[in-house]
């Protein structure tokens, strides 16, 4: 598999690159996991129809507002209800699992939905240390990520003459694109050295975004999978009819990050008129720093900011995160992005 790559990325417009979606299957206050899964399916079908490239789901654990913990199961569900869009993990936290299990799970998914499955991999626990122990994960795991990755990739390689090897069935012999995910420089360098596509979590790690992307491109070595680097960058987008409406919707995101920095994760909360009184000045600074790349506003404002973001990152693909509390607002935000992408908003 060779992803499209662009040597003159600084001159590209939004319409020249693929757009994708990252979903946490958010459980909102007053809702439940069943509602979250219905909402995910509705959104996936919309963006599939609109021509988006990928729909990825993220592995997190022990977070009341995130229902995508059984990531492989949910990928199969979304793939079953869509027809064209690629569905995958953004990502599977590999040190949480035996590589053989992931090879079998994604071999199964690829066998069910040929040519539509992506395997994005991360090395963080996707949880706190107590939850990591409950997952039977060594709290120091992650340092052996390169070895786990090599083992996983080896399960996909056919070797009919070696009858003694452990085999992933299904999985062996299948071509499943492997991506590395990162929020720092570790996976950026490794993805480059292995010639793999790289996805950076710009939606919550803006400080490291440009250095990691630069390191990935500098480290890149052509491989059987890619002849040129291919970088996808995540970005939060809250688009609405007016700047004021979008700013109000974005308070849902602020409240989520505020709860996380307080180590008190919560359900997805409804928007509020103002965050004043909900956070301290230091908490406000911390949350806004983590969300400094968030794009919030009216269609015209979002278009201008997306164009600047693309110019800044030189991304080959953008992964949009638009996690509004109300499903109608969420779909409308993605629809505005779609209209910008298609050139329907000047």
Question: What helix, strand, coil percent values describe the chain, rounded to 5?
Answer: 45, 15, 40
Q: Where are the alpha helices (DSSP H) in 121-185?
A: 129-134, 145-155
Q: What pTM did the predictor assign?
A: 0.94
Q: Phi/psi of residue 321, each to 5°?
A: -115, 115
Residue 336: the pLDDT is 98
Place of tokens 């997805």: 268
List, in order of start, the domains of the chain with CATH numbers. Answer: 15-158+167-176 (3.20.20.30), 235-346 (no CATH)
Residue 237: the pLDDT is 98
Residue 4: the pLDDT is 43
Tokens at 163, concatenated: 């009858």
Sign of CA dihedral 183, 65, 84, 336: negative
Distance CA 88, CA 302 (A): 26
Residue 141: the pLDDT is 61
Residue 8: the pLDDT is 47
What are the average pLDDT values for consecutive 10-residue runs of the chain, which has 346 residues? 45 91 97 98 98 97 94 98 98 94 98 98 78 71 87 92 86 96 94 98 94 98 96 98 98 97 95 97 96 97 97 97 97 98 89
Residue 326: the pLDDT is 98
Residue 1: the pLDDT is 45
3-state secondary structure of 254: helix
Distance CA 201, CA 22 (A): 10
Residue 6: the pLDDT is 43
Tell me if 180 sits within 8 A of 146, measured CB to CB. Answer: no
Tell me if 325 sits within 8 A of 268, measured CB to CB. Answer: yes
Residue 75: the pLDDT is 98
Distance CA 227, CA 310 (A): 22
């Amino acid at each position: 598999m060779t992803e499209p790559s662009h040597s003159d990325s600084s001159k590209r417009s939004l319409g020249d690159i693929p757009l994708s979606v990252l979903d946490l299957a958010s459980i909102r206050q007053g809702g439940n996991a069943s509602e979250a899964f219905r909402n995910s399916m509705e959104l996936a079908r919309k963006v599939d129809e609109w021509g988006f490239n990928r729909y990825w789901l993220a592995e997190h654990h022990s977070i009341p507002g995130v229902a995508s913990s059984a990531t492989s199961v949910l990928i199969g569900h979304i793939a079953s209800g869509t027809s064209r869009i690629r569905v995958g993990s953004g990502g599977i936290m590999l040190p949480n699992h035996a590589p053989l299990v992931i090879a079998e799970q994604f071999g199964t998914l690829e066998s069910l939905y040929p040519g539509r499955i992506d395997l994005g991999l991360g090395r963080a626990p996707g949880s706190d240390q107590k939850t990591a122990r409950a997952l039977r994960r060594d709290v120091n795991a992650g340092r052996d990520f390169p070895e786990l990755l090599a083992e996983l990739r080896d399960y996909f390689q056919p070797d009919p003459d070696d009858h003694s090897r452990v085999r992933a069935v299904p999985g062996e012999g299948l071509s499943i694109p492997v991506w590395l995910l990162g929020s720092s420089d570790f996976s950026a360098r490794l993805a480059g050295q292995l010639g793999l596509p790289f996805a950076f979590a710009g939606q919550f790690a803006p400080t490291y975004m440009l250095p990691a992307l630069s390191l990935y491109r500098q480290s890149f070595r052509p491989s059987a999978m890619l002849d040129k680097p291919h970088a996808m960058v995540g970005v939060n987008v809250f688009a609405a009819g007016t700047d004021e409406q979008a700013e109000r919707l974005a308070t849902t995101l602020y409240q989520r990050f505020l709860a996380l920095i307080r180590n008190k994760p919560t359900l997805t909360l409804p928007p509020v008129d103002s965050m004043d009184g909900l956070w301290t000045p230091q908490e406000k600074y911390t949350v806004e720093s983590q969300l400094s790349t968030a794009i919030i506003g009216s269609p015209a404002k979002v278009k201008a900011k997306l164009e600047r973001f693309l110019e800044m990152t030189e991304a080959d693909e953008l992964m949009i995160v638009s996690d509004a509390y109300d499903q109608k607002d969420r779909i409308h935000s993605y629809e505005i992005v779609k209209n910008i992408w298609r050139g329907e908003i000047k």
